[in-house]
Amino acid sequence: MKTTAFFLLVAIFFQTFCLQVQQSFAQDAKTLAMTDLADSQAYLQKMMKLAKPRPDYSKQIEALLKKMTLEEKVGQMTQLALGMIIKGRDQDAQIDPAKLDKAIVKYGVGSILNVSDQALSVDKWREIVGEIQKASGKTRLKIPNIYGIDSIHGANYVRDATLFPQEIGMAATWNPLLMHRAAQITAAETRAAALPWSFSPVLDIGRQPVWPRFWETFGEDPYLAKVMGAAFVRGLEGDDLRSETSVASSLKHYMGYSFPLTGRDRTPAWIPENYLREYFLPTFETAVKSGARTVMINSAEINGVPGHVNKHVMTDILKGELKFDGFIVSDWEDIKKLVTFWRVAPDEKEATRMAVMAGIDMSMVPNDYSFADLLIQLVKEGKVPMTRIDDAVRRILRVKYELGLFENPMPSDAAKSNFGRPEYAEVSLEAARESLVLLKNDRNTLPLAKNKKVLVTGPTADSLISLNNGWTWVWQGSEESLYPKNKPTIQKAIEQKLGGRNFEFVQGTKITRPPNSPSNGTPTDIDVETDVEKAVDKAKDADTVVLCLGEGSYTETPGNVTDLTLSETQLRFAERIIATGKPVVLVMVEGRPRIISRIADRVSAILLALNPSSEGGTAIADVLFGDYNPNGKLPFTYPRNPNNLIMYDHKLFETEETGFGNAANRAQFDFGFGLSYTSYAYSNLKLSSATFPAAGELTVSVDVKNTGARAGKETVILYVRDEYATLSPAGKRVRRFAKIALDAGQTKTVTFKLNKDDLSFIGSDNKPTVEPGEFTVMVGGQSGKFTLK
């Protein structure tokens, strides 16, 4: 009877747990789609308030530190790749007991990371992490391991996980409510696999579109990026890090990594400190205030100083000014690269000393024990003080306690019920739909009629790889066999809309990756012609051609390019299709803006799909045939020419005729641009005062009316321009935004509040500066002025 009662209690607990989880995820895609984001700043403040004070584990940490030997402390600062403790590969990987014993028992390694080439199943992850934690439990002090993984756009290293648009696509939604929900699902599915720490979000600013990780950013504007970043962090970390639906976040790559002068990955950036603080620090600062627990360091250099020895950036600013009390982790092998790449240290021992003293708390070594061996020597030689070691370990232990790993190093079996829930796919689909940006629609070419004959062609038409990009099942996202079979590509989704009679697909050209392609920085994807002539012939018989161009998958150095222009093979193919005289709908599937000025004026419509994920095929078909009204807006400036890269917040003289010939300096499509199948009119812009209050806020309101025939969603963006300043001012800066749903004929009044911080800039002294003068507010073609005295 006692046994029966016990199992009955377990069953009741399990059902209660599942019900609570289900209720916590009750806000489904339909609810999100109808929810207004009334004011980005109010939302941001709410996210920061959610970072409520965490439990104080100081007594436990200090007691544990006193018991730890130097070797045990350094072990906590060491992070090794999974390959160091396994035998076999991929799904056949097994823990090697001897290797595990060396890592965990002998060296006391505090963290393991990464995959064995490709994503593993939930059960496989739980098996591997379970053995790691079991070994940790056998050590003298029983300190649990913290496993780190790159959950970039979903739990992308867990087989069958729910994937979402990449960050650049999420930025195009201008919807932090969706970002927050996507991050919650990512956290739940990651933790279900016993992985408590995600190397995300990427908070680098995308102001260099040549950079191969541009698509991993939230675009070029710091304000949009910091709102979306805060939503990502709070979605991952939740109300309680101990929860089986939460993971610790890692902000990366702190900071300036995304702005290399050449555009090539891991090459030098030259950024004055006031610009660093103006454009690159705000996302990290806001995320730290939103409670982020770990930070990963810039894998390149700023002004000649590699990120991993930049004490000013790591210790003075992050740990000092921002009072960050989590821990800093290096990027892959970057302490070693201080010797081999940046040549700022003569040997690895000196590189280790420099990095730790600059502020690195944990080293992603990751493929040997050199860091631990050398750091122990440095401490014994008095070259690294024990106070620095204790500070690093204290930070690492704090996060482990906050995650609840000391009490529960493994999630319960019930946590697996958080994986693959049906409602997750609906959220992913809604995110994919909102991420699509309609850039052109001449003569209302779109939406397409379902009773007309459509040819679908082009290299991205039948590719889940292009829809997802890197960090998808494998590092480069390039293993087609791993993609789900139940998610349609663009051409398959369109076929499902039309049926066989009005649908035709011909590949035309293809993006291929040769076998055994190098990953040493050489671009490996190539465009090849397959059946161009057949595609041209079929185009002549079609009423409309949906031409899908763009990119394959890439990240980091394999994604380096020397020219943003779309490949000649694709452009020639497009010109052949255009020459048939049939209306062409261009669908660009890409992670960065490839130059299309040669063909943009000659097609009837352009739909931009910024790596919308495996639901992207369905989302694109929904927009093309009018089953969804597009509402995405560009989170970056789409360039017209490869040597004409300009941001939305450029100085006014950069695009005006000032005698320097700058009038031709025009973008292909402007930041914040995006069309809809309805229309909106802005009117009645009001400022609460013509003079900014000495203490307090300025209220700005504007009426937005849906003047079209169907319901839609509109992103309302408020810009502010400082007319004159000590440092030449930007033409405009985003200071607020809202995203609202409007029925046909409906009007809503959107209200924002500005404070003095919104009028500030970072001065030559690297401090926020607010100067009196005249300012202009701009919203939807309306403008008003006020004076700050």
- Which parts of 244-283 are beta strand (E)? 250-254
The fraction of the chain above a pLDDT of 90, given in percent, is 87
pLDDT of amino acid 557: 94
Digit-coded pLDDT (tens) for 19-35: 444 444 545 666 766 68
Residues in contact with 597: Cβ distance below 8 Å, sequence separation at least 6, in sequence order: 640, 641, 668
- Give the Cα separation of 577 and 239 in Å (integer): 53
Question: Average pLDDT, stretch 712-725?
Answer: 98
Q: What is the distance between the alpha carbons of residues 582 and 631, in angstroms, rounded to a whole number?
A: 26
Q: Which residues contact 442 (CB under 8 A, 6 or more apart)?
A: 604, 605
Interval 293-325: pLDDT, tens: 999 999 999 999 999 999 999 999 999 999 999
Residue 737: pLDDT over 90: yes
Instruction: Give the tens place of pLDDT for each residue, 502-513.
Output: 999 999 999 997
The mean pLDDT value for 410-437 works out to 97
CA–CA distance from 427 to each of 26, 200, 423 (Å)?
11, 19, 7
Q: How confident is the model at residue 90 (pLDDT cuts 50, 70, 90)?
A: confident
Question: Which residues have a catalytic role annotated?
Answer: 331
What amino acid is encoded at 769 in this protein?
T
> What is the average pLDDT across 598-626?
98
Measured distance CA(9)–CA(16) in Å, rounded = 10
Residues making up the chain, counted from first to last: 789
What's 412's DSSP letter? -
pLDDT tens digit sequence for 426-480: 999 999 999 999 999 999 999 999 999 999 999 999 999 999 999 999 999 999 9
Tell me 82's DSSP state. G
Residue 702: C-alpha distances to residues 586, 723, 750, 781 (Å): 34, 22, 5, 11
* 584-589, strands of its sheet edge to edge: 437-441, 605-609, 584-589, 544-550, 454-457, 503-506
At which residue do the structure tokens 């062609």 appear?
A: 457
The 3-class secondary structure across 486-555, one letter per residue, is: CCCCHHHHHHHHHCCCCEEEECCEEEECCCCCCCCCCCCCEEEECCHHHHHHHHHHCCEEEEEEECCCCC
Residues 137-151: tens digit of each pLDDT: 999 999 999 999 999
The reported pTM is: 0.95
Q: Measuring CA to CA, which residue among 78, 114, 214, 235 is closest to residue 164? A: 235
User: What pLDDT is recorded for position 20?
Assistant: 46
Comparing C-alpha atoms, which of 542, 582, 585, 581 is closest to residue 447?
585
Residues in Cβ contact with 11 at an 8 Å cutoff, skipping those fewer than 6 apart: none
Cβ contact 198:187 at 8 Å: yes
pLDDT digits (tens, 9 = 90+) for 225-262: 999 999 999 999 999 999 999 999 999 999 999 999 99
The model's pLDDT over 628-664, given as tens digits with 9 standing for 90+, comes to: 999 999 999 999 999 889 999 999 988 776 656 666 6
Tell me: the pLDDT tens digits for 197-224? 999 999 999 999 999 999 999 999 999 9
What integer pLDDT is reported at residue 659 of this predicted model? Answer: 54
**Over pLDDT 70: what percentage of the chain?**
94
Question: How buried is 88 (Cβ within 10 angstroms: 0-12 exposed, 13-18 middle, 19+ buried)?
Answer: exposed
Query: So what's the pLDDT on residue 161?
Result: 98
Q: How far apart are CA 152 and CA 719, in angstroms?
A: 30
Handedness of CA 560, 467, 470, 523 (dihedral sign): negative
- What pLDDT, on the 0 to 100 scale, is given for residue 524? 63
Q: Residue 438: in which H helix or E strand, if any?
A: strand 437-441
Q: What is the pLDDT of residue 17?
A: 41
Average pLDDT, whole number, for the chain?
A: 93
Q: Is the pLDDT of residue 399 over 70?
A: yes
Neighbours of 175 (CB within 10 A): 28
pLDDT band of 2, cuts 50, 70, 90? very low
- CB atoms under 10 Å from CB of 129, counted, come to 23
| Across 724-729, average pLDDT | 96
Mean pLDDT score, 767-781: 97
Predicted local confidence at residue 454, as pLDDT: 98
327-329 sheet: strands from edge to edge: 250-254, 294-297, 327-329
Give the pLDDT confidence score for residue 342 in this predicted structure. Answer: 95
Could you tell me the pLDDT band of residue 4, with boundaries at 50, 70 and 90?
Answer: very low
364-396: per-residue pLDDT in tens?
A: 999 999 999 999 999 999 999 999 999 999 999
**pLDDT at position 500, please?**
83
